């Protein structure tokens, strides 16, 4: 449908013919009132005006609205104190015309999109079910935050970070308590989680004897690939477990988050029907100008953490803190990742592609 559906007033006042009020003051006869939700107002002719409310239909013959404060009313006569100019009118279909796409498929329902759908007369809209993504960390050494640490143990934090990222993209995150390095326990847990739309695991994907996620996917799952030529985060995997997509992320906290941004986030966005015309999203690609030299990685896509800032219409990028894969604070201090091609250094002043991670 057209938006607006009819010509209407942008403010309270009087609908007039601009040619009647080229020089003020001009006194006109008030022939009626145009109210929102009321009957269509009478047409106005030369020397006539119609009182009108904001949003009310424009009378036939009117081409200008004069604000109340620019008039003086005396019974059925109104004096326009100054010259009237065409305007303060919302024209039919000036926002959207009948047949024009108002909301693209894949749009996220927000306060604005819901209001637009309602204004188009839709009491209901067809939506995609909010995907549920299960998140599982693996490792004998993991204990929940807040517990007492025994020698050799560490706090499990990856599932909390991944759940936050999943939720921020419009999915429902289901965190499972971490599992030990046991094939039987891992198998049973993956079977339990296979009822969700996807599974994210953290840890157990490298080349060690106790990297059981890789092993169980090789032996019992349907493994599509293992390892990527990226730094950090080289050993992720992807496949299906009992028909459910499974992303195996590294256990290293920094690598786990980096791989989410470059591998999982694009998959989620695609699954939800996202397209670039809908604007920025998590892990959105941008072009940045380097404020310093940034070394690349031999033979690998280099995903260095960077701080992106806007200055004079440009996005500028620098690094803060050291880039160790165990330095979780570096993910707090930065809001982007470089996309430096293999064997390529970034030079100061150069424009490169990057991923915005906040």
User: Which tens digit of pLDDT belongs to each residue from 276-335?
Assistant: 666 667 788 999 999 999 999 999 999 999 999 999 999 999 998 888 888 899 999 999
Q: Estimate to the nearest angstrom the gap between the alpha carbon of 317 and the chain centroid.
A: 22
Instruction: Locate 220 and state its tokens.
Output: 């019992």
pLDDT value at 24 more than 80: no
Q: What confidence category does residue 340 fall into, taking pLDDT thresholds of 50, 70 and 90?
A: very high
Element (H, E) at 237: strand 237-241
What pLDDT shows up at residue 279? 62
Number of other CB atoms surrounding residue 101 within 10 Å: 7
pLDDT tens digits, residue range 53-105?
999 999 999 999 999 999 999 999 999 999 998 889 999 999 999 999 998 88
What pLDDT shows up at residue 104? 84
What pLDDT shows up at residue 278? 62
Please give the domain boundaries of the chain with CATH numbers for all domains: 8-90 (2.170.190.11), 101-130 (no CATH), 132-271 (3.40.980.10), 283-356 (2.40.340.10)
pLDDT tens digits, residue range 223-264?
999 999 999 998 999 999 999 999 999 999 999 999 999 999
Question: Nearest Cα to 356, choosing from 282, 292, 255?
Answer: 282
Cβ(308)–Cβ(315) below 8 Å: yes
What pLDDT shows up at residue 277? 60
Q: How far apart are CA 299 and CA 158, in angstroms?
A: 28
pLDDT value at 23 more than 90: no
Find tokens 């940045």 and name the residue: 288
Cβ(71)–Cβ(95) below 8 Å: no
């Amino acid at each position: 449908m057209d938006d607006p559906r009819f010509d209407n007033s942008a403010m309270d006042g009087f609908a007039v013919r601009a040619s009647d009020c080229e020089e003020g003051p001009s006194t006109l006869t008030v022939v009626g009132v145009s109210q929102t939700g009321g009957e269509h107002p009478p047409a106005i002719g030369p020397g006539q005006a119609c009182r009108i409310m904001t949003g009310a239909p424009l009378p036939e013959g009117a081409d200008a609205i004069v604000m109340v404060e620019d008039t003086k009313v005396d019974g059925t006569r109104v004096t326009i104190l100054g010259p009237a100019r065409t305007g303060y009118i919302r024209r039919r279909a000036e926002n959207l015309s009948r047949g024009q796409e108002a909301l693209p498929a894949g749009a996220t329902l927000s306060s604005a999109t819901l209001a637009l759908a309602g204004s188009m007369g839709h009491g209901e809209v067809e939506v995609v079910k909010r995907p549920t993504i299960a998140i599982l960390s693996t490792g004998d050494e993991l204990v929940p935050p807040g517990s007492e640490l025994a020698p050799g143990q560490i706090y499990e934090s990856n599932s909390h970070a991944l759940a936050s990222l999943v939720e921020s993209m419009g999915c429902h995150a289901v965190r499972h308590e971490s599992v030990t390095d046991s094939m039987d326990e891992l198998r049973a847990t993956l079977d339990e989680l296979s009822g969700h739309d996807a599974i994210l695991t953290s840890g157990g994907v490298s080349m060690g004897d106790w990297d059981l996620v890789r092993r169980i996917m090789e032996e019992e799952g349907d493994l599509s690939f293992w390892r990527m030529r990226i730094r950090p985060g080289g050993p992720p995997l992807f496949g299906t477990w009992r028909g459910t997509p499974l992303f195996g992320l590294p256990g290293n906290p920094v690598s786990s988050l980096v791989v989410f941004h470059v591998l999982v986030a694009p998959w989620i966005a695609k699954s939800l029907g996202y397209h670039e015309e809908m604007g920025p999203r998590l892990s959105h690609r941008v072009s940045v100008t380097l404020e310093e030299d940034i070394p690349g990685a031999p033979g690998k896509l280099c995903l260095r953490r960077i701080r992106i800032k806007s200055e004079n219409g440009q996005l500028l990028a620098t690094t803060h803190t050291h880039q160790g894969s165990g330095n979780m604070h570096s993910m707090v201090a930065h809001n982007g990742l470089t996309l430096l091609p293999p064997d390529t250094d970034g030079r100061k002043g150069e424009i490169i592609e990057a991923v915005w991670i906040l």
